[in-house]
Each structure stands twice: as C-alpha cells, then as structure tokens.
Amino acid sequence: MVFSSPVFLFLFLPLVFTLHWLAQETKLRNLLLLGASLFFYAWGEPAFAAIMLASITFNYGMGLAIAKITSKIPKALALAAAIGVNLAVLVYFKYQTFLIENLNQFFNYFSYRFQFNQTDIKLPIGISFFTFQAISYIVDVYRHRVQAQSSVFRLGLYIALFPQLIAGPIVRYENIEQQLQQRYINLTQVGLGIRWFIIGLGKKMLIANTLAAPVDKIFALPSGEVSFPLAWVAVGCYTLQIYFDFSGYSDMAIGLGKMFGFDFCENFRYPYISASIRDFWRRWHISLSTWFRDYLFIPLGGSRLSPLRTYFNLVVVFFLCGLWHGASWNFVVWGLFHGLFAIWERLGLLQFLEKRPWLSPLGHIYTLLVVMVGWVFFRADRLGDARVFLQAMANLTSNTNNTAYYLGYYVNAEIWLAMGAGIIGSCPILPYLVKLYHKFSRNCTEKTAFFAEIIISLTTTTCLAAIFLACAAKLAAGTYNPFIYFRF
C-alpha cells in the first residue's frame, strides 16, 4: 500500500487513526497497529507477510537468548548467528540473482562449463529496512544498550510499524522503546503530524512526480544520443526528484508516527547545501549513514587506527552502502565514488577548504557536482549507459540535429515551476524565516505578536490545504509514480 494512494489516504489511514484514538490502552493500541501494519505490508503480496512474521519471531527469540547468556564467547556466537541469519535472508532475496549472474560470467570468462541455474525470486518490499532495524536491535541487546523485549507483539510492532516499514527512516529500538510501553497523544501532536504528512505528500506528488517525467524520457533515449543540455536537465531534475521523493516519504513517515504517538528521527537535513561529501552524508539519509557508522565503521576501528586502516574502513562502508541500495554494479560504483571523495577529503582537501573561508562557495559547488555525477550511476540501468551519459554531460558526444532531442519536448512550464520550487525547497529558507519570526515576536508588543500569530496560522493552514487539494487533484487524474526507495 502506498502513502500517496486514495485507498491509503481516504480509507486505511482514517480508519486506523480513528480506532487508535478511541483505544485508550497502549496494549490495545499496539495490537491494533501491529495488525494494521501486517495488513498494510500484505496488501501487495500476502506471501511476504510470512517472511515478516518469521523475522519478528526469530529476532524476538534471539534477543531473549542473547540477553540470558552470560558467557562472553557463547554470547558473541549467538550474536553472530543472529546477524548471519538476518543477512542470509537479505542476500537470498535481494542478491541471489546478482551473485549467480556474476559467478556465471566468471566461469564463462575462464571457459568453465559449470553454470548455476537462475530462479526468479521476488524481492520483499522494504526488506533492507526492516532487516537493518532487526540487526540494530540484536546488537544493542548484546551491547546492553537496551533490554530484550519480553513481548513479541511489541517487538513485532517495532519491526513492522507501517509508517516507516517500507522506506524508512531506519528506527533504532532505543528511540521508541518507551513509546512502545506507554505513549500519549494530544491534538497538538496530531496537528503537527498532519502538517509533516501533507508537506511530505506535496514533495512527492507535486515535485518528485512532476520531475520524474523528463528524467524517465531522457534516460530512455538511445545510448549516445543524449545532447549536452538534455543530459544536464535530466541530472538536475533527478537530483531534485530523488531528494523530494525520499525526503517526502520520510516526512510522511515522521508525520504518521506523530499521529500515532511515536517520534522518529529526522532523516534529511538540507543535504544539497553541504560543503563537503562528509557533510553531505551527515545530512542525507541520516538514519542509514548513522547505522553504518555505529554498526560497521566504528566496530571496524573507525578512525582510531592508522590512516591506511581508516581509508580501508571507509571503502568497506561505502562499498556496502552502495550494495545496500541495490544488487547492481551501478550502486557499487556509486558507493565507491562517494567513498573516494570521502578519502580525498581526509587526505587534506577538507582541511584546505576549511582554512580558506573565502573558498566556501567552491566547496558547495564541488560537493553538489560530485553528488550530481554520482546520481548518474544511481539512475542509469547499466554502467555503460552511465558512462555515455557522463560523456554527454562533459559535451564529449556529437550533438544531434534530430528534433526529437530538442529540450522543449521534455521540459514545459510545469516542470520549470517544479524545478524552481525544488531548488527553493532544497535550501533552509523556511527555518530561516521561522527564526526571523521568533526574533520579531520577542521584540514586538504582545498585541502585535498575537495578530502575527493569527496571520501565520491562517497562512499555514491555507497553504497546507492548497497542497493537499493539489495532491488530491493529481490522484484524481490518475497520476502515479512509485517511491524510488521502495526497491531498496
């Protein structure tokens, strides 16, 4: 079930929210949300709900077992077994075909006659997200950061909670442990959650979906026939599309969480204003980058060891980060591409820029350029397609005179408007205006502040209503574009 669908917006969500509001006991609310979450997950493919239930049961049992074991070595072996099983399930469903294809190519290259048979395996949606959540829970129990959950229903709700189940953010158990035990909801919190949800819905429906049209058309052009301006328009649109698509989902998840009494972590913090790749990963998909930091980079030694070992750790992290996003060499190259610049910055580039504040604009330009070039590997179907597209961006391909490749066929007024809104929305303009308002309210009379509050409230409500109506109109027109991160 998709957040930006009529059945969710006008049937599932109102029904579940009403029942959850009427149920006063947290235990009853948890059972209701767990049932609703499993139904939400089973909506597209009921068979995958069995995998979800198996994951919940297994990690529940392993959490209790690890908590009870007192000996160091058996405890570590139990942890390794739990992580191994979780990763084995992820590899089986997500990477089996990729591994078999590459092994068969390897055997063909060396003229071996042995070949693995390939089977068509459907990927359970969101498996990367709920697997990482389960692993973080098991590891935190092992580290004594949290106590093992004694109720399988509470742990099931943590893993299967529908607002963040499909595409994150990756929620740490310690962050919602108390909310699973007891939570209180008031109208102010619900109103704030609705605001988050509508903003996220607008990001997805009005900006990301609009910009998806030229991106899909231009990337579908025959290889080598993309002109210089078309290549940059496509990459520019995709840069905005993927940000507003994914941050829109995260905003909706945060909003839904607040409506049901949960506080999820912020997943995006204006990543396109970053002045370095390291800063970019502190702002982009924060729940994933911090997961890799806490459960992989630091256990590998982090930056505490020699510089060479630190660079090795960074390569491992970015390699696996790329592979996490998809079973394709494109994603591996994308991850290593970011890792290369992360290492370059540690070698002195970042220090060079920080010591020269007047070069700050250059740092922003460099970071945005690296990110945009990286998105080509992320979006292209094959590495060869990415290479040709990068050649077009560098104006190294011959321009075609075919009218099918004119810019006007792919970009209209609506797309230019969406691009403008996307560029503005990618900058922290709204927080700056809020800061100015708070400064103004502190320095003005009580009466002036009262009227200013009324005006801002009315303006905000009107804008949110307009955004929701515009999204409803898009839905009525049959506009549909799946969330990009659903496939991860």
**Distance of CA 76 to CAs 81, 280, 312, 353, 396, Å?**
9, 34, 24, 43, 54
133, 159, 183 — which closes off a domain?
183
Domain co-membership, 264 together with 394: yes
Tokens 């963040």 appear where?
164
Task: Give residue 342's pLDDT.
Answer: 93
Residue 213, domain member (yes or no): yes
Residue 458, domain member (yes or no): no
Q: Which residues contact 248 (CB under 8 A, 6 or more apart)?
A: 199, 200, 201, 202, 203, 204, 207, 208
Task: Give residue 480's pLDDT.
Answer: 59
Domain co-membership, 177 together with 209: no
Confidence tier at 125 by pLDDT (50, 70, 90): confident
Residue 377, domain member (yes or no): yes
Per-residue pLDDT tens over the stretch 94-111: 988 888 888 888 777 777
Is a pLDDT exceeding 70 seen at residue 451? yes
C-alpha–C-alpha distance, residues 243 and 370, integer Å:
15
Residue 246, domain member (yes or no): yes
Q: List the catalytic residue out of 20, 325, 364, 438.
A: 325
Span between the terminal Cα atoms of the chain, in Å: 16
Domain co-membership, 38 together with 120: yes
More confident: 486 or 154: 154
Average pLDDT value for residue range 236-252: 95
Q: In the chain, how many domains are there? A: 2
Structural domain boundaries enclosing 324? 190-425
Residue 431: asked if its preceding bond is cis (omega within 30°), the reply is: no
Domain co-membership, 93 together with 224: no
Residue 136, domain member (yes or no): yes
Per-residue pLDDT tens over the stretch 286-324: 999 999 999 999 999 988 889 999 999 999 999 999 999
Neighbours of 470 (CB within 10 A): 14
Is a pLDDT exceeding 90 seen at residue 415? yes
Confidence tier at 175 by pLDDT (50, 70, 90): very high
The angle formed by the CA atoms of residues 361, 367 and 370, to the nearest 5 degrees, is 140
Domain co-membership, 147 together with 236: no
C-alpha–C-alpha distance, residues 7 and 4, integer Å:
9
C-alpha–C-alpha distance, residues 228 and 310, integer Å:
38
Average pLDDT value for residue range 225-245: 92
pTM of the model: 0.91
Report the share of the chain in percent with pLDDT over 90.
59
388, 408, 425 — which closes off a domain?
425
Residue 167, domain member (yes or no): yes
C-alpha–C-alpha distance, residues 81 and 167, integer Å:
26
Domain co-membership, 155 together with 226: no
Residue 116, domain member (yes or no): yes
Domain co-membership, 294 together with 413: yes
Rg, C-alpha atoms of the chain: 24
Residue 169: asked if its preceding bond is cis (omega within 30°), the reply is: yes
Residue 419, domain member (yes or no): yes
338 part of the active site:
no
Confidence tier at 402 by pLDDT (50, 70, 90): low
Domain co-membership, 252 together with 173: no
Domain co-membership, 114 together with 224: no
C-alpha–C-alpha distance, residues 241 and 210, integer Å:
8
Q: Which residues contact 177 (CB under 8 A, 6 or more apart)?
A: 146, 149
Domain co-membership, 260 together with 307: yes
Domain co-membership, 162 together with 177: yes
379, 395, 425 — which closes off a domain?
425
Domain co-membership, 109 together with 249: no
